[in-house]
Amino acid sequence: MRDIIVIGDLSNQEIEHIFQIANDMAGIINSGSPRLCNGKILATLFYEPSTRTRLSFESAMLRLGGNVIGFAEPSSSSVAKGETLADTARVVAEYADIIVIRHPYAGSARVLADYADIPVINGGDGSNQHPTQTLYDLYTINKHLGRISELKVGLCGDLRYGRTVHSLAYALARFGSEIICIAPEGLEMPEHVLQRLEIKFNSKVKYANKLDDVINELDVLYMTRIQKERLPSDIDYKAVSSKYIINKELMSKAKKQMILLHPLPRVDEISYELDDDQRSFYFRQSAYGVRIRMALIAVALDVLKIPTSVGAPASPRLVSVKKKCINPRCIVNHELYLPHKFEIVSDLPPLLACAYCGEKPVDDIAESNLV
């Protein structure tokens, strides 16, 4: 059994194998059998609003023959009484066989996995990552373009607080695709993501100010909404929300084989007149989420096994130092019993990243002990 917290928890070969399992799951959806997870229980712990992620995970488990428990409103749970994530993890692990969590604080899924002795899948943690979204983004690209390598992919919109693009950027870089970022001022890709892309994957992200300048070059355009609920007070939502909107006129400049993706929900960044365009894949992309999440549940529970010949990624090197995470919305800065742990991203140049959210540390190192 295994956790899936960040996209780096899966190797490229494992991702490709999950695609194969997802293809098989399409047959199960159509036939209603076999019931691979009969007797198993999925707990969905959703501390943030969700439509697609929660319902597709529940649909996936039910289609696999399992059952679902959980909550979609934390105020109706003991969270409202001050229960910590660590205690929630220990309790829910006695009620279920696998957990999916969505939470407003970055690193929350990692905490749940640390304290639960059953598999945990990250359904989105703050502005950090959303690995299962990335898997069906990649699946959509691979299914309709035939590959996920050596492509030119535009990421457009809120790249600072949009967690889907962080996971997707890491995956695209690993598979050797070129990334072009198009974002409003103040909402560019975070520095810690760019550093990891360059150091870990030798990927140098390109920037474009106008979508109009690059749309004709792209194989994939990944639009995102402005994360209004996460914006700091110094950013004017109305000003940035209208910065990038794709409509029929702009789409006419794109390649005939380009595909347009969006993690949804959209607000006004994709015109409704594009819904019938053959290059608009966002609803098909969403539908693929069920088969991908069926595959992930089955793999996480060891109901279906990835061959041992398919190598898993190496575990990150962690260090415990007298530093704190700089991110005010990292879980470690809210649940104060948690140890401050950092990943050694690079020795030369020396670079540490918070083991929970990936952001950089602050304060001087006084002493260090390997975890």
| pLDDT tens sequence across 172-195 | 999 999 999 999 999 999 999 999
For residue 151, tell me if it sits in a domain: yes
Work out the mean pLDDT of the chain and round it to a whole number: 92
With cut-offs at 50, 70 and 90, classify the pLDDT of residue 159.
very high
Q: How many CB atoms lie within 10 A of CB 217?
A: 14
Asked if 66 contacts 38 with a C-beta cutoff of 8 angstroms, the reply is: yes
**Helices (H), ranges, 185-281:** 191-201, 211-214, 237-241, 248-251
Rounded average pLDDT over 72-97: 90
Distance from C-alpha of 131 to C-alpha of 364, rounded to nearest angstrom:
32
**Helices (H), ranges, the chain:** 12-31, 52-63, 85-92, 108-115, 131-145, 163-174, 191-201, 211-214, 237-241, 248-251, 282-300
For residue 307, tell me if it sits in a domain: no
Q: What pLDDT, on a 0 to 100 scale, did the predictor assign at position 239?
A: 79
Q: Is the pLDDT of residue 367 over 80?
A: no
Distance from C-alpha of 244 to C-alpha of 150, rounded to nearest angstrom:
25
Q: What pLDDT, on a 0 to 100 scale, did the predictor assign at position 290?
A: 97
Where among 274, 300, 326 does a domain terminate? 300
Q: Is the pLDDT of residue 109 over 90?
A: yes
| pTM summary value | 0.94
With cut-offs at 50, 70 and 90, classify the pLDDT of residue 83.
very high
Q: How far is CA 4 from CA 119, 134, 300, 351, in A?
A: 8, 12, 8, 24
Residues 50 and 98 in one domain: yes
Q: Is 140 strand, coil or helix? A: helix
Residues 226 and 280 in one domain: yes
Q: Is the pLDDT of residue 370 over 70?
A: no
With cut-offs at 50, 70 and 90, classify the pLDDT of residue 162.
very high
With cut-offs at 50, 70 and 90, classify the pLDDT of residue 366.
very low
Q: Please name the residue that has the structure tokens 């950027």.
A: 169
Pick from 17, 67, 4, 29: which is nearest to 291 by CA?
29
Residues 172 and 55 in one domain: no
Q: What stretch of H or E contains 220?
A: strand 220-223
For residue 354, tell me if it sits in a domain: yes
Residues 163 and 118 in one domain: no
Residues 113 and 245 in one domain: no
Residues 228 and 90 in one domain: no
Q: Is the pLDDT of residue 336 over 90?
A: yes
Q: Is the pLDDT of residue 65 over 90?
A: yes
Distance from C-alpha of 265 to C-alpha of 224, rounded to nearest angstrom:
9
Q: Is the pLDDT of residue 365 over 50?
A: no
pLDDT tens per residue, range 231-280: 888 888 877 878 899 999 999 999 999 999 999 999 999 999 999 999 99
For residue 251, tell me if it sits in a domain: yes
Percent of the chain with pLDDT over 70: 97
**CATH number of the domain to which 31 belongs:** 3.40.50.1370
Residues 271 and 196 in one domain: yes
Rounded average pLDDT over 339-368: 83
Residues 190 and 246 in one domain: yes
For residue 1, tell me if it sits in a domain: no
For residue 154, tell me if it sits in a domain: yes
**32 vs 41 pLDDT, higher one:** 41
Q: Is the pLDDT of residue 368 over 80?
A: no
Q: Which residues span the domain enclosing 355? A: 318-370
Residues 216 and 145 in one domain: yes
Residues 161 and 86 in one domain: no
Residues 138 and 266 in one domain: yes
**CATH number of the domain to which 330 belongs:** 2.30.30.20
Q: What pLDDT, on a 0 to 100 scale, did the predictor assign at position 31?
A: 78
98 exposure class (CB count in 10 Å sphere: 0-12, 13-18, 19+): buried
Distance from C-alpha of 94 to C-alpha of 81, rounded to nearest angstrom:
20
- The total number of structural domains in the chain stands at 3
For residue 184, tell me if it sits in a domain: yes
For residue 343, tell me if it sits in a domain: yes
Residues 236 and 220 in one domain: yes
